[in-house]
Amino acid sequence: MTTTTHPAADISPGTTRLLAVAAGLIVASLYYAQTLVGPISRATGLSLDAAGLIVTLTQVGYALGLLFIVPLGDLLENRKLVFVLLLATSAMLALAAFSSSAALFLATSLGIGLGSVAAQVLVPFAAHLSREETRGQTVGKVVSGLLVGIMLARPLASLVADHFSWHAVYGAAALAVVLLAFVLRARLPQRVPQGGLPYGRLIGSMWQLLRTTPLLRRRAVYHAAMFASFSLFWTVTPLVLAGSSFHLSQTGIAIFALVGVAGAVASPVAGRLADRGHTVYATAAALLLGVAGFVLPLAAPDSRELALALLVLASIVLDMGVAANLVLSQRALFALGAEVRSRLNGIFFALFFAGGALGSALGAWVYARHGWDAALLTGMAFPAAALAWWIAEWAGRGITRSAQVPLQ
């Protein structure tokens, strides 16, 4: 299957920047709630045990959208698909802004997740517009924008909530997303897939892709583990920072989360390493960073200042590992063929967002029942298990340069 857009030249820097900004702004909608779990829970009547649902349902909606909406990128004109999804996302954000009950807020959270998959139509779009030899760098830049959006969403939400309210966070987001919808419709080129499967067969083909693509399964396992640890960390840590050990305000939590944005620098670096054929070793490094992100706070001394400093460093290290592993995974998957990119991306993101949903729900529950150290050990178990998988797969084969291309 081919498409109508086959660029002779590489993607322009301006288009890359636009896609990076757009991806970040869209996906930020999934993460505003992470540092607002406390205020939203109190306002809507959710218990501490159930607070993780605020994040979990958004991720569940995103996973469903990845499975049933993102594959449409291989069937429908991409620019129009993104436009419709962003209008729907804006409507859900507006409803969330006026929510006063747990049921309504949780329902809109699910809807926000569904619509925000527009970001995952844009990432394969960027890969499609790029030449093969620079695809990793392009994907790295767009994913870097996506990750900056995730990381900025947390401090921005905290700052706005501290000075206004959490309702204002969602209202402003609704306005920003609807404006973005019209900008993208005006600025992006069309991409019309040709000869696509009917929707039913398109969705049915996803199981076949998963079953017959070992690379997809491998990368999904690695990143589901990394994203579970990431979601656990950023669901539980704001509760810890606001608690008796640190007594941080929402502004203090915002500053803490803002520092984690530094982790996004790993994205373009990982893209360049992937373009040069170093995916295997870079993956191991990313998984090790994930483990280190939980070892650091576990080793924290009794000193409040030193403990906070180690927690800040842990957030940067963990975010770097997650950013690098995501770019490595998408670069490897997008090399498998333009005709299946949206479906591969949808399956991959659905699987690892399922890991994220598990991590956020489990983290809130473990923290409420067993405390901070137990939550850290739970978070560390995810990347440690992925690293064990990596060792089991590669140690027996030997990692040679020739093996890196087919076995990423």
Length of the chain: 408
Alpha carbon 167 to its chain centroid, in Å, reads: 23
Secondary structure (H, E, C), 97-140: HCCCCHHHHHHHHHHHHHHHHHHHHHHHHHHHHCCHHHHHHHHH
Question: Residue 406: pLDDT above 70?
Answer: no
Q: Which of 139, 99, 329 is nearest to 218 (CA)?
A: 329
- Total domains in the chain come to 1
Q: Which domain holds residue 386?
A: 13-399
pLDDT value of residue 274: 75
Name the residue with higher pLDDT: 110 or 2: 110
The CA-based diameter of the chain, rounded to the nearest angstrom, is: 63
Residue 408 lies in a domain: no
Residue 270 lies in a domain: yes
Residue 5 lies in a domain: no
Which amino acid type is present at position 341?
A: R
Q: Which residue has the tokens 């991806």?
A: 23
Question: Residue 4: pLDDT above 60?
Answer: no
Question: 19-23, 98-102, 184-188: which range is least confident on average?
Answer: 98-102
> Which tens digits make up the pLDDT trace of 286-307?
999 999 999 999 887 777 888 8
Residue 7 lies in a domain: no
Residue 406 lies in a domain: no
Q: Where are the alpha helices (DSSP H) in 164-278?
A: 166-187, 199-212, 214-242, 250-259, 266-275
Which amino acid type is present at position 258?
A: L
Distance CA 88, CA 178 (A): 9
pLDDT value of residue 196: 65
pLDDT value of residue 126: 80
Question: Residue 3: pLDDT above 50?
Answer: no
* CATH number, domain containing residue 230: 1.20.1250.20
Question: Residue 121: pLDDT above 60?
Answer: yes
Residue 4 lies in a domain: no
Angle between helices 279-298 and 304-334 (to 10 degrees): 160
Distance CA 408, CA 396 (A): 15
Residue 3 lies in a domain: no
Q: What Å distances lie between residue 116 and 27, 74, 81, CA to CA?
A: 6, 18, 12
Residue 186 lies in a domain: yes
Distance CA 177, CA 183 (A): 10
Distance CA 390, CA 263 (A): 23
Alpha carbon 94 to its chain centroid, in Å, reads: 22
79, 193 Cβ separation under 8 angstroms: no
> Which tens digits make up the pLDDT trace of 96-108?
998 888 888 889 9
